[in-house]
Amino acid sequence: MVIENEYLAGLMQRVMKRNPNEPEFHQAVEEVLCSLQGVADEHPEFIERGIFEAIVEPERIIKFRVPWVDDNGKVQINRGYRIQFNSALGPYKGGLRFHPSVYEGVIKFLGFEQIFKNSLTGLPIGGGKGGSDFDPKGKSDMEVMRFCQSFMTELSKHIGSDTDVPAGDIGVGAREIGFLFGQYKRLMNENTGVLTGKGISYGGSLARTEATGYGLCYYTEAMLKDNNSSFAGKTVVISGSGNVAIYACEKATQLGAKVITMSDSNGYIVDKNGIDLELIKRLKEVERKRISEYISFHPQAEYHEGCTLVWNTPCDIALPCATQNELDKAAAETLIKNGVMAVCEGANMPNTIEAMETFQANGVLFGPAKATNAGGVAVSALEMCQNSSRHPWTFEAVDSELKSIMENIYESSCKAAEKYGVPGNLVAGANIAGFLKVADAMMAQGIV
Ligand code: NDP
């Protein structure tokens, strides 16, 4: 993948110079700029008005100290971030990630991707992302609560239900959202939908927990249908065992597929009989245990140490749902050798650029994250609607809206790819369709 357009190639150089040592951000920008070469040729006004320059520069970067006290009475210091990337379409919207690998470059890449993903949903939400290098793993509930309260004490100064509405991501699930919401309410004396992914008892939306995984499968099913296929009877390999992975496994199984792997950062399991999802939910959602425990309940299953070799398992469909760059070129070649027909991204940027190109060059159907995993943020936006109107929807109403949003994203990506001369390239299609709407809104709002 090469950026041939002179202006965009120069912009890429400037992005790398202005954001040194942030390879994940460079990777995300490069992929988008590559797709936008036809758009730059057709719309010289976007260059004149600095739209490309502005879209790669966050509107605001907030970085703060998060002091908290552990169970031994010792003071711990972490770093918190919120990057408010682009508000052309609506309030900043995007998750919070708590993981030791978090630094400014990771949050910037995620915030940048979020702009286009949110645009693709068709809902009025801008792009943002945040998080901390805090690791919730191995911490007590009280430690997690003290951390969340300290994090929100600072974050509350910068967010609001019409300004910036964070949600969960890696390491931020129902427990963390509850603690964050409780502290916001206490500080601001305001009971509004300032966070999404809330518990159902205090303003959450039905089907938000399932939304990203279900949405991934709705998109994949639309893509398969368009190619005279479906999930029925297919073997599926999934990585991860968190929120996205669990509900992707559930929906793929409901649609007639057999999911045979799941993983965590220590290793992966292969169960040829099909994953026992109730057990995974108990181990991961309730008991917070490692995936290796699975084989004590299912001795016929295999456990392999190390998570990257999960892609050696032969399958028809691969759904990477753990983290960025978890699937490289060698893994892509192995999957192709073993007959994979479709790959859709549940995690954000789980494929390296080389892996993605390898799939595309070998005729594997490929759905990119900013389209395929947009279901989570879409239902978050529906949660905002329900909070504003103080009127909760049924599970069926949310799920059916989610399905139609995912089918629309597939259609609009196909149409954009065709219009710009790259039919079937869903990566380019998603980038173009997502970008055009934001660019139009930025043009209309002037130089701000
Ligand atoms: P969770 O924290 O619920 O689960 C993450 C899973 O990925 C866990 O199984 C975790 O294993 C594994 N994992 C995390 N980091 C690594 C790593 N460095 N190497 C290997 N495995 C790893 O997160 P989510 O399921 O919410 O998020 C997964 C992905 O989906 C992320 O890329 C996220 O940005 C993306 N996403 C999530 C959305 C949502 O609604 N939740 C929406 C859109 C995208 P372990 O427990 O060992 O850490």
Q: Strand, helix or coil at 319?
A: strand
Closest ligand 1 atom to residue 263 Cα is: 9
Question: What tens digit of pLDDT does each residue of 215-233 get?
Answer: 999 999 999 999 999 999 9
For helices 174-188 and 141-155, the axis angle rounded to 10 degrees is: 50
Residue 1 has pLDDT above 80, yes or no: no
φ, ψ (nearest 5 deg) of residue 50: 70, 25
Indicate the residue type of 72.
Answer: N
pLDDT number for residue 253: 98
Q: Is the CB of 30 under 6 A from ligand 1?
A: no
CB of 168 sitting under 6 A from ligand 1: yes
Ligand 1: centre distance to CA 375 (Å) = 15
Question: What is the structure's pLDDT at 16?
Answer: 98
Q: What pLDDT, on a 0 to 100 scale, did the predictor assign at position 98?
A: 98
Residue 92 pLDDT > 90, yes or no? yes
- The rounded Å distance from CA 348 to ligand 1 centre is 9
Entry pTM? 0.97
Which run of H or of E encompasses 279?
Answer: helix 277-281
- How is residue 299 written in tokens? 């001795």
**Cα radius of gyration rounded to whole Å, the chain:** 21
pLDDT value, residue 181: 98
The residue whose CB lies within 8 Å of the most ligand 1 atoms, and thus the one to mutate among 135, 170, 280, 303, is 170
Yes or no: say if 239 and 263 are a contact pair by the CB < 8 Å rule: yes
Mean pLDDT of the region 257-264: 98
Q: Which has the closest alpha carbon to 127: 445, 337, 419, 442?
A: 442
**How big is the chain, counted in residues?**
448
Active site residues per annotation: 129
Report the pLDDT value the prediction gives residue 33, as an integer from 0 to 100: 98
Tens of pLDDT, residues 334-345: 999 999 999 999
3-state SS of 194-205 is CCCCCCHHHCCC
